[in-house]
Amino acid sequence: MLNGKRILLIVAGGIAAFKSLELIRRLRERGASVRCVVTENGARFVTPLSLQALSEDRVYSDMFSLTDESEMGHIQLSRDADLLVVAPATANLLARMAGGLADDLAATVLLATDKPVLVAPAMNVRMWTHAATMANVETLKRRGIHFIGPNEGAMACNEHGPGRMSEPEEIADAIERLLSPAQPLAGRRAVVTSGPTREAIDPVRYISNHSSGKQGHAIASALAALGAEVTLVSGPVSLADPPGVRAVHVESADQMLAACLAAGTLDIAVCAAAVADWKAAHQANAKIKKKPGAAPPALELTPNPDILATLSKPGPNRPTLVIGFAAETEDLVANAIEKRKRKGCDWILANDVSPETGTFGGERNTVHLVTASGVEDWPTLGKSEVALRLADRVVRFFGGPTRAEAAE
């Protein structure tokens, strides 16, 4: 039930807007109060009067309305709810959210809010599967935005496929789950490494790699959403810290190891960082000068500490479950099986990082979960989906229900 919960429903311009009226009714039946913001295009599909009649509250649409702003400023509107729900969410509104635009009241409220946001997309199948929309969705998921749907089926434009907005009952169920979430990992402590490391050669040059941190950050987010207390140890990346995790920013492998060891007693360790295997044996204190006519300087390398192997060492402080990644460009699974044994971790996720796969820095990943009992091939998924699946497996390992089981 949603007794006493306050929902801010944002209605954007799509044919599925008619379902938002039913959604308001369902939410109010469950005890929630609903206040609506409708975009200019949303108001072409459903009248503000209908939204007002069903919500029994005033409807907001104009960013520059003196009456609206004096009664309820847009910042207060964005904070005065327990949850913001965007239904339907059009490709255009998703793009504006991903881009951080604040060009109308709906987008501004979404940018200004400090509350969880649930999005129910609805659009033509080709618009949904377009690379731009997929990238926007992945960006928003990484920032902690929750999604429901879209469903697959016949659409108003006479096409068939994913793009139909979820049914009001499904959205109301998802809202209930979000507002009283299952926390099967509550009380578990986790460390997640993410991103590249940078190994200084001199004050201006370094050795590094192409890791963006997208996969590691998504895993930290997914574990935190299930109630785990997560320390994210991240190398230099351009991503924001995910909400709900304690982030420690480091540069080198030595610093990353120290931060992991400082995280204390752990139940779970996930090493998704692309740690440089070697560092400069001698770091110059001043910029190494290029001398005309002289041969290039020789760079002597020395191994970095192996963080995954260190965390996997048997002993009283070993996390109960240690998970690594294997980044390979050939003999993917065979090398991952060997790597799991050599490093001593419990599970390893093998992923092909050949340039043509786009795994490094990209939005999607194709992984194979290697455990002591065998190899499981996962389909190509967005990195957030990989993270959610892995988090589900972690829940199952610790004996709790998975997301799907908890939702039943």
- Residue 248 CA to residue 103 CA, distance in Å, equals 34
* DSSP result, 42-57: HHHHS-HHHHHHHHTS
The one among 2, 119, 326, 394 contacting ligand PMT by CB under 6 A: 326
Q: Is 322 in the site for ligand PMT (CB under 6 A)?
A: no
ω before 168 within 30° of 0 (cis)?
no
Q: Are 253 and 244 within 8 A, CB to CB?
A: no
Cβ closest to ligand PMT, residue 37 vs residue 387: 387
User: Minimum Å distance from CB 264 to ligand PMT?
Assistant: 18
Q: Are 367 and 350 within 8 A, CB to CB?
A: yes
* DSSP result, 325-342: EEEESSSHHHHHHHHHHH
Q: Which of 351, 353, 382, 387 is nearest to 134 (CA)?
A: 382
User: Minimum Å distance from CB 383 to ligand PMT?
Assistant: 6
In a 13 Å sphere around the CA of 157, the CA atoms on its Cβ side amount to 15
Q: Is 234 in the site for ligand PMT (CB under 6 A)?
A: no
* DSSP result, 123-172: --HHHHHSHHHHHHHHHHHHTT-EE--PEEEE-TTS-EEEEEPPPHHHHH
User: Minimum Å distance from CB 38 to ligand PMT?
Assistant: 37
Cβ closest to ligand PMT, residue 126 vs residue 313: 313
- Residue 254 CA to residue 96 CA, distance in Å, equals 40
Active site residues: 157
- Residue 333 CA to residue 303 CA, distance in Å, equals 25
Q: How many residues bind ligand PMT (CB under 6 A)?
A: 30
Q: Is 42 in the site for ligand PMT (CB under 6 A)?
A: no
Q: Is 215 in the site for ligand PMT (CB under 6 A)?
A: yes
User: Minimum Å distance from CB 231 to ligand PMT?
Assistant: 15
Site for ligand PMT in 167-196 (CB under 6 A): 193, 195
Cβ closest to ligand PMT, residue 61 vs residue 212: 212
Site for ligand PMT in 246-305 (CB under 6 A): 253, 271-275, 277, 304
Cβ closest to ligand PMT, residue 37 vs residue 270: 270
Q: Is 359 in the site for ligand PMT (CB under 6 A)?
A: yes
- Helix or strand (DSSP H, E) at 99: helix 91-99
Cβ closest to ligand PMT, residue 148 vs residue 386: 386
User: Minimum Å distance from CB 334 to ligand PMT?
Assistant: 13
Burial classification of residue 205, based on how many CB atoms lie within 10 Å of its CB (0-12 exposed, 13-18 middle, 19 or more buried): middle
Q: Is 139 in the site for ligand PMT (CB under 6 A)?
A: no
Cβ closest to ligand PMT, residue 266 vs residue 326: 326
Cβ closest to ligand PMT, residue 39 vs residue 359: 359
- Residue 93 CA to residue 224 CA, distance in Å, equals 27
Residue with tokens 């944002």: 10
From 6-14, 156-164, 209-217, 293-301, span contacting ligand PMT (CB under 6 A): 209-217
From 100-108, 205-213, 243-251, 283-291, span contacting ligand PMT (CB under 6 A): 205-213
Q: Which of 262, 206, 260 is nearest to 234 (CA)?
A: 260
Q: Is 2 in the site for ligand PMT (CB under 6 A)?
A: no
Distances (CA, A) of 156 to 15, 160, 161, 272, 284: 8, 9, 11, 42, 65
User: Minimum Å distance from CB 208 to ligand PMT?
Assistant: 12
Site of interaction with ligand PMT (CB under 6 A):
193, 195, 211-216, 253, 271-275, 277, 304, 306-308, 324-327, 339, 351, 353, 359-361, 383
